[in-house]
Amino acid sequence: MKRDIKYLRLLSKSFPTVQAACTEIINLEAIMNLPKGTEHFITDLHGENEAVEHVLRNASGVIKQKVEDLFGDNLMESARKELCTLIYYPEAMLKIMKQREKDLKGWYKVVLMRLVRVLAESSSKYTRSKVRKALPAEYSYIIEELLHESKSVDANKHNYIMAIVETIISTGRADHFITAICNVIQRLVIDCLHVIGDIYDRGPGAHLIMDRLCEYHNADIQWGNHDVVWMGAAAGSKACVANVLRMCFRYANLTTLEDGYGINILPLATFAMNVYGNDPCTVFRPKINEYEVIDESQARLISQMHKAISVIQWKLEARVVDRRKEFGMEGRKLLHLIDFEKGTVKIDGVDYKLKDSNFPTINPKAPYELTAGEKDVITKLTHSFTVSPRLEKHVNCLLSRGSLYLVMNDNLLFHGSIPLNEDGSFKEMEIMGRMYSGKALCDKIDQIVRTAFYSHDKPSLQKYGQDFLWYLWCGPVSPPFDKGKMATFERYLLSDKEPQKEPKGWYYTLKNRKDICEKILKEFGVENYEHGHIINGHIPVKAGQGENPIKAEGKLLVIDGGFSKAYQKETGIGGYTLTFNSYGLKLVQHEPFVSKQTAIEKGVDIRSMTKVVENAEQRIYVRDTDKGKELAMRIDDLHQLVQAYRNGSIRF
């Protein structure tokens, strides 16, 4: 009782009278009866900034559908497409329209009224207070007036609205005002954005995607293995630094490194040219897509850096393996198995011919010892990662907005897997002397990740956290990875396919079973597991070969469809996204994105196909969501406060 009174006294500071508390109860009860806001799920972005930006701007077709609903009967298709493109890219489209339109004032009037209608539709499921907070301060009053009065049929009100519109135009603020409305529409059509991992690597714009996500009005991130390795690099893990650099060189992605984060790769370039000056480094040639152009001298230098950092990586990883025996990764130490005279390596008792055996920095007698040059290079590179202000900002965003998994509205979101045994039981892993599995494992991992950044007063714990971030990138019981090995060495240096195989964990087989998915949902506390879903990515869905992203009788949705151009030949599509609104779940399959310029100049949207995954039996309201449960508890607390005021337990 004392604790309850103490809490109610604290609550009374926000609601100091019976009237104030009752007003808040009325407000919250009203919110409970609004339709559920739209959730937007995306995953495996892999640095493809233009495609991701377009999907965020068009909300996976939500805006286009609203325009179709509003104007499908009275506007030509070309006009509807033009209106959509204006909402997506207002600044660029305004430049085009100002050059094209002869009666610009007339066009402004028409388009402003159309945008107000789209905004009114987009804001209809929110309180006026929430809409007001989304509006730019300088136009808040004007937009509210337009939204409120645009539905009026009164002639005087019509004249009032047109006077506002004409004044916006005559004062030269039309462009700015249109841009503001378009940005508000983009914000309001999506209530919450879920990013289910792998923002980094392959494409050149991960830093730009992170800029957007860090400023997004309501977003959460579930870490992918490509994210945690960048986090590890930022934390100071030399093994993670080497892996990040190797991935960048593999896809000739220097933009994110140099332009994005200001990483100084000159020491590595100088070292690589000195060591491999006469080596063509053919095995380490970067993967270049057909749309990319790179000159031979640059490709050669990247290949040399690629080889140099790969050797450094293998040496550094061996050190982590040696000091963390509990990781169980002794089998990933391969350099001591090389026969340099024969040019072979012995793996699992079999001798394999190496495609490249020129490794002047590897001492056969001490193969894992870094040379003086390698030590100097990796020290300088690690320093460059740890002092990058932009990378620090982005990692802080990943920590504050991110976690290994999320449970929300009966959906469980994670990247990769929940490690399982063959019989479907949860696989155990030892962490700091204790065994963990299932939800407890994921919660412990979430805690350990943060020690790499926030345990400066405990160096040994911080070092463990840094090593663990590397393990999450490539470890066999790592939820974001969950494969027997990451066969980097074998895929680079061996022609034989057998040792290149990366055996997947049992989750990837068992996830197709409904009972297993329901078991996982229950483990993570999804109360309504019979109607809940697992939503994850990590393994591209080969839609072009007929693979279905909806698995386990609808319990599992795998929405990695290949945003990355590197995957699109394999998947045959340009990515999946998912939306969850008050009417149910919709899966959106996108064709590959051409370019932002094409989208603007020709009005070419991403061609998408929407499939209804699950229709709600009854429309879903805020009261039916996790947010509704929170509001219900707040309402109950406020009722207790009112009662305390009335019986004199708390005086006002």
Residue 23 has what pLDDT? 96
How many angstroms separate the CA atoms of 479 and 497, rounded?
Answer: 25
pLDDT surpasses 90 at 569 = no
Contacts of 400 (CB under 8 A, 6+ apart): none
pLDDT surpasses 60 at 153 = no
Question: For 21-66, what is each residue's pLDDT tens digit?
Answer: 999 999 999 999 999 999 999 999 999 998 899 889 999 889 999 9
Binned at pLDDT 50, 70 and 90, residue 651 comes out as: confident
Residue 386 has what pLDDT? 97
Residue 151 has what pLDDT? 61
Contacts of 62 (CB under 8 A, 6+ apart): 38, 40, 189, 190, 579
How many angstroms separate the CA atoms of 354 and 545, rounded?
Answer: 33
**CA 215 to chain CA mean position, Å:** 13
Binned at pLDDT 50, 70 and 90, residue 75 comes out as: very high
Residue 98 has what pLDDT? 92
Q: Pick 143 or 291 by higher pLDDT.
A: 143
Residue 603 has what pLDDT? 67
Question: For 350-362, what is each residue's pLDDT tens digit?
Answer: 999 999 999 999 9
Residue 2 has what pLDDT? 61
Here the tokens at position 617 are 């039996």
Residue 13 has what pLDDT? 94
> For tokens 């508890």, what's the residue?
633
Supply the mean pLDDT for the chain.
Answer: 92
pLDDT surpasses 60 at 72 = yes
Binned at pLDDT 50, 70 and 90, residue 493 comes out as: very high
Whether 587 and 609 have beta carbons less than 8 Å apart is answered as: no
Burial 86-123, CB ≥16 within 10 A → b, else e = bbbbbebbbebbeeeeeeeeebbbebbebbbbbbbbbb
Task: List, edge to edge, every strand of the sheet that includes 344-347.
Answer: 338-339, 344-347, 350-353
Question: For 278-322, what is each residue's pLDDT tens digit?
Answer: 999 999 999 886 666 788 899 999 999 999 999 999 999 999 999
Tally of residues, the chain: 652
Please state whether beta strands 411-414 and 533-536 pair in parallel, antiparallel, or not at all (unpaired).
parallel
Q: Pick 480 or 543 by higher pLDDT.
A: 480
pLDDT surpasses 60 at 179 = yes
Binned at pLDDT 50, 70 and 90, residue 617 comes out as: confident
Residue 432 has what pLDDT? 94
pLDDT surpasses 70 at 168 = yes
Residue 431 has what pLDDT? 95
Residue 119 has what pLDDT? 94
